[in-house]
Each structure stands twice: as structure tokens, then as C-alpha cells.
Amino acid sequence: MKENINDYPKIGTVVIARNEAENIYDTLDALFKQTIPLQQIIFVDDNSTDDTVKIAKNFDVKILTFPEIHDNWVTRPELAKIFNYGLKQLDVDNLDFVSIVGADHILPHNYFEQLTRRMIIDDSVVASGAIQGEIATAPRGSGRVIRKEYWKTIGSKLPVNFGFETYVCVKAMQLGFNVRYYDDIITKTSRKTAITYKPKMYYNYGYAMRALGYPLLHTFLRSILLLKRGKGLKSFRFFLNGYFSNNDTFYENSLRNFISKRYNTRRVLSNPIGKFKIFMNTKY
């Protein structure tokens, strides 16, 4: 344990919340109990109508209210606008890492200490731990930690486009940086990921896959995973319909070409037995 606070990496975190009165206390409490004291915690209230803000006032956080009244933007590009509203309040020049944490995400007290230590050793620019009960292969959106230097490289903001969370990771990979998902650093959420999603919301996920340049076979296999997760045929159809409906909302060609080559048919079909085992063991 370091004795001087100046020896720790400097981390700034943004939390956005909308009607999260049941969850927000535990999430913020875990942030304030981190073994690395956080330099900044920005809390963005997305026009909650419950006691979310009242509860957040129990903590020494900077509370902002997103100024635009809107419907639920989950899975929509506009959700990035709410994150950016908080992210622009971070004093990035005086930080080492930037982080985003969901309002129902409870991090272990040594989360940032473990994660940043590993990122420094691995020389990675984007990383996250795992969520208990889930298996993933890329850094989660919530709990994600981003090095300042890379964050500034992509403009210190999220693109207001479909698949903006994925963009942060794949853009780093395209630029030759390391990205890490640490499945032995376990976190908890108050509810399962996407448990409240309606089938039509998966249209936006399929739309994002096309925007980012994922090939059809890889996208189809991802849609099959929705069936395994019990999301039903409607979600499966919406996902694929979104992919085929997107004819003009794309990211830059250099990124799309990188993703297309990385997830081409030869790579997707390599080691089919091993990948089938991973597929069967994936839990959500």
C-alpha cells in the first residue's frame, strides 16, 4: 500500500443515472471506498423523477443535470451525449486515467488499484474487469478505464454514433494499442446487463455492427448468441434487421476496413471446436 496519495495514479470518474434511487447509494459508496482515492467523481442526473439526486447529495460528488428532456436513450447514439456532458467536466490534463461507471455497478474496493496496476504492466490503454456471472472478451462499458493519452487522441469524448462504446476499444486496436479484459477482477451489478431491454432495442445493436464494419458472418453468429441468452426470436430478427437497414451511418473507412479484416470469415471459422465451447459456456 502506497503511503503518499501523490504516488497513486490520478483517476477521474463519470457516473450517469436516471431513476436509480434503489442502486445509486451502493455504487457511489463503493467509489468512495476505493483504495486509490479518486481525484474527481462527476455525477450526471438524466432528469430523474425519484430520489436519485437526493441520495447522491450524501456524497462529495459534482452533481450535474443533463439539460435536455428526452425518452430513454439506452442503445441509442444520443446516450453518448449524456456521458460527454459529464466527461467534459473532467480535468483531463491533471489525470492519468478516465473511467465510466454505471449507476447500478458496484466495484470492489481495490478495483482501480488492481486495474491500473495491470494496465501499466501490460501497457494497455483501455481495460475493465468482469461482471459476476458474465463472460466477455472485450472491456465492459461500465467500469472501463481509459488512459489519458489515448483519451485525448480520440478527442476526449465519445462519438455520438451507434456502437460508441465498442468504438473506443476497436479504435485503440486499429491504432496499435493494447486493450485488456481482466476476467479475474470481479465486479457486481444490481441487475443483469440488458435485462430491461425490449426486443426492438436490439435493432440498434445490429445497426451499430454495420456502422463499425463487422462482416455478415460475425454479425450472424452474434445474433445467434441472443437466442442462447434467451432473448427470443424477436430480438434475433430486430438485430439482423438493424444490420441490413443501415446503409449510410458508418464510421471512418480506415476503422471499418480494420474490423472487416480482423473478423473475416477465415478468422471466425478458425478453431471451431474451441469457439463452440466458449459459446456454450457463455453466461449472462
Residue ranges of domains in the chain = 5-189, 199-281
The two counts, helices (H) then strands (E), for the chain are: 12, 8
Q: What is the mean pLDDT of residues 16-28?
A: 97
Q: Where are the beta strands (DSSP E) in 66-200?
A: 97-102, 105-106, 124-131, 144-147, 178-189
Please, what is the end-to-end C-alpha distance for the chain in angstroms?
35
CATH 3.90.550.10 fits 5-189, yes or no: yes
At 147 the pLDDT is 98
Amino acid identity, position 178: N
CA distance 261 to 97: 30
Measured CA to CA in angstroms, residue 175 lies from 20, 55, 102, 171, 179 at distances of: 37, 41, 27, 6, 11
Q: What is the mean pLDDT of residues 224-235?
A: 86
At 275 the pLDDT is 57
Q: Which secondary-structure segment (H or E) carries 112?
A: helix 111-122
Higher-scoring residue by pLDDT: 137, 178: 178
Q: What is the mean pLDDT of residues 235-255?
A: 97
User: Phi/psi at 10 (nearest 5 deg)?
Assistant: -95, 125
* Residue given cell 473507412 in the structure block: 253
Q: What is the mean pLDDT of residues 65-78?
A: 94
Model confidence at 283, in pLDDT bands (50, 70, 90)?
Answer: very low
Residue 118 above 90 pLDDT?
yes
At 193 the pLDDT is 59
CA distance 239 to 241: 6
Q: What is the mean pLDDT of residues 48-55?
A: 97
Lowest mean per-residue pLDDT among 54-63, 185-194, 254-263: 185-194
Lowest mean per-residue pLDDT among 4-8, 67-71, 164-168: 4-8
DSSP, residue by residue, 210-266: HHHT--HHHHHHHHHHHHHTT-HHHHHHHHHHHHHH-SS----HHHHHHHHHHT-HH
Residue 269 above 60 pLDDT?
yes
Could you tell me which of 95, 122, 104 has the C-alpha nearest to residue 37? 95
Model confidence at 6, in pLDDT bands (50, 70, 90)?
Answer: low
Residue 213 above 70 pLDDT?
yes
Q: What is the mean pLDDT of residues 217-244?
A: 90
CA distance 144 to 138: 10
At 228 the pLDDT is 77
At 183 the pLDDT is 92
pLDDT tens track for 139-185: 999 999 999 999 999 999 999 999 999 999 999 999 999 999 999 99
Question: With the CA atoms of 30, 34, 38 and 42 taken in that order, what torsion angle do they form, in degrees rounded to the nearest 10?
Answer: -10
CB atoms within 10 A of CB 188: 14
Are 42 and 80 spatial neighbours (Cβ–Cβ below 8 Å)? no
Model confidence at 279, in pLDDT bands (50, 70, 90)?
Answer: low
Residue 280 above 60 pLDDT?
no
At 266 the pLDDT is 79
Residue 190 above 90 pLDDT?
no
User: Phi/psi at 264 (nearest 5 deg)?
Assistant: -75, 170
Residue 284 above 50 pLDDT?
no
The separation between CA 16 and the C-alpha centre of its own chain, rounded to angstroms, equals 12
Structure pTM?
0.91
Residue 194 above 60 pLDDT?
no
Q: pLDDT > 90: what percent of the chain?
A: 78
> Which three-class secondary structure state does DSSP give residue 107?
coil
